[in-house]
Structure 1
Amino acid sequence: MQLTAPADGRTAPRTAPRDADGMAVASFILGLLGLLVLNVFLGPIAIVLAAVSLCRGTTRRGRAYLGLALGVADLAVLVIAMQLSSTISWSL
């Protein structure tokens, strides 16, 4: 953990970039997992995590964009599967 020195002399932890990097990786993993199971839940979570990590300035922008794309793909797979099965849910 890196420490920064504010103007008043105290040291404060600087965890925002590290947290954003973790969110980008989590977004990628959840988006990838969502293609197989629970895409109705994991897709939106992957999208939100990717968006937040990009707003916080992650250094892993590629992973965040992949997580965003996979989250959208999760929802697209859900919609396509629902249309093919003519139900509001789907299973393999």
Structure 2
Amino acid sequence: MGPAAPARRDADGMAVASFVLGLVGLLFLNILLGPMAICLALLALRRGTGRRRRARLGLALGIADLAVLAVLVTVNGTVSWNLG
């Protein structure tokens, strides 16, 4: 393992974290988790992650989080889910 191995492992971790944050952000705290997922995904892609597909999914989910937020604000005038 060369000096690039820890950096790539960090980038792989960022890719996984962006995916998880984007997925959770669809249900909870999308105003916070969406931008975090986007940032982590972009950092992971820039650092050359081996999990490019996971980073791209994290990026897409982060964008979807912000889209859900926009719909909630437009329809309900709030940033939270309303099931009733």
Q: Is TM more than 0.5 here?
A: yes
1:91 aligns with 81
1:34 aligns with 25
Residues of 2 paired with 1:44 and 1:15: CA distance? Answer: 25
For structure 2, the residue ranges without an aligned partner over 5 or more in a row are none
Residues of 1 paired with 2:40 and 2:52: CA distance? Answer: 12
Which has a greater percent of strand?
1
Which TM-score applies when normalising by structure 2?
A: 0.91
For structure 1, the residue ranges without an aligned partner over 5 or more in a row are 5-11
Name the SS for the 1:15 alignment partner.
Answer: helix
Which TM-score applies when normalising by structure 1?
A: 0.83
RMSD of Structure 2 on Structure 1 (CA): 1.4
Query: Which structure has the greater CA radius of gyration?
Result: 1
Of the two structures, which has the highest relative contact order with CA contacts closer than 8 Å and spacing of 6 or more? 2
Runs of 4+ in 1 over 6 A off after TM superposition: none
1:91, distance to aligned residue in structure 2 (A): 2.7
The percent identity for this pair of structures is 59
Q: How many residues align?
A: 82
Residues of 2 paired with 1:86 and 1:40: CA distance? Answer: 14
